[in-house]
Structure 1
């Protein structure tokens, strides 16, 4: 059954991968509007997150932003097959503008490794391809629920030599080795971490479980850190790669101070283009013990 499911999913990806960027974004916009119109769970979670994170917005502004975010998520869903199925050169041609690339050269000038944080903002798949085309790079990932799909994912994401590293103990050791050798490690910093490597820190004012991995890697390897995203331009014109400095204190040995700096760094990028953030992710579901789960007010964490 899993084999058949994989063949079905892989077939859909190949079909979607034949679309142009404009066609993929039009279909994605339709899917996003459908999620909005049908009052699906994704819309409910998006609206809850926006009410928590951006309370300064009026109800009308939040509704407009929720709609924009779902449209963006729909576009992302249709853009991923392009990033996986298109020739690499065609994908890289989508990068029309860049900002802050000099920060990477400055950070690595002394031979230090670099941790590139890439939140779920804009096209993180394109950002990964772009940087793996320029640097010796490894990216942390969690294996998919469909084992057959893992080999495909590793192959398409590693087309330019990028090494995909599982988020287990062996994988983290490998990530540390790459950073000590002066390489680049890509990490998605805005997921709820599993296991013990976490601390509770404010994210848009709400205490949530946050990964301590970044600060530990910095302490162990001497790596530096920057944050990046690929902003979607209007009218299917392509994308703009943005690289920014992170908030100070990310390498602190105080886990709360380090994770607070991590979340603040992510927040600053989200505030730049809030409509392109993946607001439907239940980031607030893991809170300190005794706190209410905002997605299910009848339950406490």
Structure 2
């Protein structure tokens, strides 16, 4: 975590960086505590804990009638935001990485199901489930600040190349579903603000690699803006940037039959 934060704030002295990492850990712990409280909350209590912002952007995306692909970094309590959306809009899908031990994963998945969240396991074939939900005009939430399956493409992030999954963009280009960047930020009162940024309505051109790259750069620029503003709430424990520089790809391949996505 501290290494990732150093890339975000390279000018920050070591002692301050360690304090920042400690605040990050504290917020991360609070987010998990809040998650385990959610199943015992009614809609009123859930609404009191989370204030929406940018609902007009979500409405504009939903109005397309093609479902919505919500993309987010691991910030704040993304689980709380997902539960709130499910309470308001019906069942939503969330793609997740299978964590260890398996017993914990099954317990967390069961809690998500109780919150009207359909768990989509992170896999090469997960795109099928995502597309199926989009055809049902559902919302699908994808965290895309980690290339867990190592199937992504290199993009600059805070000035240095690293790999990100392009699956959400590939699916949006294929289905016509809008992409909504979203963030769930903890405020000074230990409540949350769920922010929906303006959606991306992608139109395929004859230059597919350029379509993918342009959309990815827009999404990552939005991620950078929020992470820079709230570095103590970007909860990524694994190194985002490799020790050795990433070699840029010459082209982005055409979308495969099953596009890979990230958690």
User: TM-score, with normalisation over the residues of structure 2?
Assistant: 0.79
Whole-angstrom distance in 2 between the partners of 1:69 and 1:146: 24
Does residue 55 in structure 1 map to residue 10 in structure 2? yes
Q: Which residue of 1 aligns with 2:175?
A: 221
4+ runs deviating over 4 angstroms: 56-61, 246-252, 286-291
Query: What SS does the corresponding residue of 2:88 show, helix, strand or coil?
Result: coil
1:81 is matched with 36
Per-residue CA deviation, residues 45-81 of structure 1 (Å, 9 max, x unaligned), is 41x2232222244556545433432322232243332
Q: Secondary structure at the match of 1:219?
A: helix
**What's 1:272 paired with?**
229
1:92 aligns with 2:46: yes
- Which residue of 193, 201, 208 corresponds with 1:240? 193
Superposition CA RMSD, Å: 2.9
* Correspondent of 1:106 among 43, 54, 60: 60
Corresponding position of 1:125: 79
Bigger shift: residues 247-256 or 278-287: 247-256
Q: Take 2:118 and 2:217, find their aligned partners in 1: how far apart are those partners?
A: 29
Query: Are 1:52 and 1:204, in contact at CA under 8 Å, matched by a contact in 2?
Result: yes
Establish whether residue 146 from structure 1 lines up as the match of residue 80 from structure 2: no
The alpha-carbon deviation at position 249 of structure 1 amounts to 7.4
2:126 aligns with 171
Q: Any residues of structure 2 matched to 1:151-300 within 5 Å, and which?
A: 151-196=106-151, 198-236=152-190, 238-245=191-198, 253-254=208-209, 255-278=212-235, 280-285=237-242, 288=245
Q: Under a length normalisation based on structure 1, what TM-score does the superposition of the two structures give? A: 0.70
Task: Provide the rounded CA distance (Å) in 1 between the counterparts of 2:76 and 2:84.
Answer: 14
Quick check: which has more Rg, 1 or 2? 1
Task: Report the equivalent of 1:116.
Answer: 70
CA deviation map 1:190-213 (0-9, x unaligned)? 1123143x1011111111110011
Partner Cα separation in structure 1 for residue 95 and residue 156 of structure 2: 24
Q: Is contact 2:178-2:201 (8 Å) kept?
A: no
Q: More relative contact order in 1 or in 2 (CA 8 Å, sep 6+)?
A: 2
CA contact (8 A) 1:116 1:184 kept: yes
Unaligned runs of 5+ in 1: 1-44, 292-301
Structure-2 separation of matches of 1:170 and 1:65: 38
Distance 2:11 2:23 in 1: 18
Alpha carbons 2:70, 2:181 under 8 Å: kept: yes
| CA shift for structure 1 position 88 | 4.5
Distance in 2 of aligned mates of 1:247 and 1:174: 21
Tell me what 1:137 maps to.
92
Following TM superposition, by how much is the alpha carbon of 1:289 offset from its aligned partner in structure 2, in angstroms? 5.1
Structure 2: stretches of 5+ with no match in the other structure: 249-263
Structure with the bigger percentage of helix: 1
- In the alignment, is the contact (CA less than 8 A) between 1:98 and 1:242 conserved in 2? yes
